[in-house]
Amino acid sequence: MPMMNAKQYEESLRRLNLKVYMFGKRVDNVVDDPIIRPSMNAVAATYEFAHYPEYEDLMTTTSHITGKKINRFTSIHQSTEDLVKKSKMGRLLGSLTGCCFQRCVGMDAMNALSMTTYDIDQKYGTEYNKRFLKYLEYVQENDLTCDGAMTDPKGDRSKAPHQQDDLDMFMHIVEERPDGIVVAGAKCHQTGAVNSHEIILMPTISMREEDKDFAVSFALPSDAEGITYIMGRQSCDTRKLEKGMIDRGNQIYGGHEALVVFDNVFVPWDRVFMCREWDFAGQLVEQFASYHRQSYACKAGVGDVLIGATQIIAEYNGANKASHVKDKIIEMNHLNETLFCGSIACASQGHKEPSGTYLVNTLLANVCKQNVTRFPYEIARLAQDIAGGLLVTLPSEEDFRSPQVGKWIEKYYRANADVPTENRMRILRLIENITMGSAAVGYLTESMHGAGSPQAQRIMIARQVNMKAKMKVARKLSGIPEDE
């Protein structure tokens, strides 16, 4: 079928029968639920913008399997140019939605599996890669959104998976049958899970042989029997249930996370891409993580929105000509562009793996993500500094609309005489949304913990840096003998 547009994507979600819970009750209509809907809008944008001529080069590509035009989110990278375009696409979409658009994880999972399944087959003579490519063609032909699921609850961090008091703390195989496997466990922090057609599972850590039952990767329809979604809370999430729109901040888009529970779920063999090959679990984790750390170019896109909003509030406040305000906005731009540099660098320095898939430079990908754990927080701090205290003391839209007290809000919260008070309220709410509200999950907390903790990146940086080469040059230049 041709690539879907936003409306077709929405209708495809309506055909799913997801088991979703929020606030202790099952959600009957996931697509139209006012809290979930903004996150669906963000994914829909990835479909709609793929049809815009001005975005076509970044948003679409050619399938290396069928030769057909496809959405880039379903593609396997065939060159460093593809990797660079992925980074540019991430920034573009972040700058257009001001939030997480949720499809990067699935794309990164598929690219990592395209390599790991090939390498497993080379060692063990299995047919995982053949299965995966058939599955990939299905995803591309139907233009599907895939949720990449890696993060297990992990239970007691001091214990390996097989040592846990409750083995469900890590996704694991509970039964092997002639027609497939049965799995149990959960995946946490699943961004965009209920907006996805498919869910792709991967192990969350490197494994030893004792943990082989936990070395499993597979894909299932998101509404497969036995899968339950429990929506996570976000700051200010219930504002979407209120009458007005101003207090939402971002009027159109948003994000969400969920706990996804697998209660003895059956997986047919043609959907299984790793089954007890414990020695490849670490490779899959690291290759996925490298791709996903590159994906944080999206934070530069959200940063574009926040910087623009900060410039606007400075003008609305009448403070835009102050030298210290100008300097702070320069610093915000400097930090934001540095984030983007890291993503472009790891993409442009990528290389071809034996499978034919191009992988980013893993050292630079980890450096990129390490910067992402820091710089958005400083950008947000500067935005709050410039916005002023009204950012957190602003009355509600209902008070603003009130016949009794609205006139006082109109009077006392006007700054620049040429700017309506309502416009000042709107831009303050957007800054609040990105730096403290529901979008802050995707901009700040996700910047810290998404694609692994900051320490995980530091460990990878230590592994990837060629310290011996640096030391060799230092000895040579200082006249120290090589055999010291």
Are 226 and 265 in contact by the 8 Å Cβ rule? The answer is yes
Number of domains in the chain: 1
473 occurs within a structural domain? no
The pLDDT value given to residue 347: 98
pTM: 0.95
- Across 173-197, average pLDDT: 97
402 occurs within a structural domain? yes
Are 197 and 144 in contact by the 8 Å Cβ rule? The answer is yes
The boundaries of the domain holding residue 373 are 293-466
CATH number at residue 395: 1.20.140.10
375 occurs within a structural domain? yes
Q: Which residues are catalytic?
A: 100, 104, 191, 257, 292, 296, 298, 446
pLDDT-derived band at 484 (thresholds 50, 70, 90) equals confident
Higher pLDDT pick, 1 / 304: 304
DSSP codes of every residue in 186-224: EE-S-TTGGG-SEEEE--SS---GGGGGG-EEEEEETT-
At 300 the three-state DSSP class reads helix
Please give the C-alpha separations between residue 357 and each of 134, 360, 473, in angstroms, as whole numbers: 16, 10, 34
26 occurs within a structural domain? no
State both tokens at 463: 């592994």
Q: What is the C-alpha separation between 138 and 142, in angstroms, rounded?
A: 6
460 occurs within a structural domain? yes
pLDDT tens digits along 50-72: 999 999 999 999 999 999 999 99
| Residue 328 CB partners (closer than 8 Å, separation 6+) | 382, 385, 386
pLDDT of residue 48 exceeding 90, the answer is yes
How much of the chain exceeds pLDDT 70, in percent?
Answer: 100
The pLDDT value given to residue 331: 98
6 occurs within a structural domain? no
The pLDDT value given to residue 482: 85
Residues linked to residue 149 through DSSP beta bridges, in sequence order: 201
* 170-174, long-range: CB < 8 A, 24+ apart: 170/203, 170/204, 170/211, 170/214, 171/201, 171/203, 171/204, 171/214, 171/216, 171/262, 172/213, 172/214, 172/216, 173/213, 173/214, 173/216, 173/275, 173/276, 174/264
Write phi, then psi, for 367 (nearest 5 degrees): -65, -40
pLDDT of residue 440 exceeding 80, the answer is no
- Across 74-96, average pLDDT: 98
Question: Residue 181: how many CB atoms within 10 A of its CB?
Answer: 22
Write phi, then psi, for 129 (nearest 5 degrees): -65, -40
Helix axes 362-372, 281-294, angle to 10 degrees: 60
383 occurs within a structural domain? yes
At 420 the three-state DSSP class reads coil
339 occurs within a structural domain? yes
Which one-letter amino acid corresponds to residue 142? N
